[in-house]
Structure 1
Amino acid sequence: MARQTITVTEPNDRWLKQKIEENEYASKSELINDLIRRQREQELERAWLRNELIKGEKSGLSTKKMAEILEEAKKRAKYK
């Protein structure tokens, strides 16, 4: 594993220590790695959502009625 030295503000250091004292994490390294992992996951989710929104905008307006759209969504959800 790569080693890094980082500097954090006093409030952030207190927060890190609090999480360790509350036994949420075994060490600051574990906590920092978890924060980075979560951030990376969020970035992937945002990119996926952005792409889905762009696809939706490009597809234009639907001619289907709301009841049809709802029925299709229920069918898709049932088979996932």
Structure 2
Amino acid sequence: MTRQSITLTEQNDLWLREHVESTGEYASKSELINDLIRRARRVEMINEKLAQAELSGYTSQSEDDILREFKREFKRNVAKKRS
């Protein structure tokens, strides 16, 4: 894993610390930041998919089919980046 040094505003640092301490969901601010980035990447992928869909016109896929396809593509992309 790559080690990075970042500068945060006081407000953002406080929010991160409070979130880590209060939820117990994350062991560190680094874990939380990585999760936030993963979520942002997912949103970006969804937005790209929506933009492509708008340009391509109507689809006969159901919402569930589209979601399954998106999840498969996302998992495949994550696996590619790890290898």
How high is the TM-score relative to the length of structure 1? Answer: 0.69
What is the alpha-carbon root mean square deviation over aligned residues? 2.0
Residue 16 of structure 2 corresponds to residue 44 of structure 1:
no
Structure 1: how far apart are the matches of 2:25 and 2:17? Answer: 10
How high is the TM-score relative to the length of structure 2? Answer: 0.67
Residue 15 of structure 2 corresponds to residue 15 of structure 1:
yes
Relative contact order higher in (CA < 8 Å, ≥ 6 apart)? 2
Greater Rg by CA: 1
Deviation at 1:43, TM superposition (A): 0.6
In the TM superposition, structure 1's runs of 4+ consecutive aligned residues that sit over 3 Å from their partners are none
- Letter of the 2:8 partner, please give it: V
Unaligned runs of 5+ in 1: 60-72
Total equivalences in the alignment: 62
Deviation at 1:20, TM superposition (A): 0.9
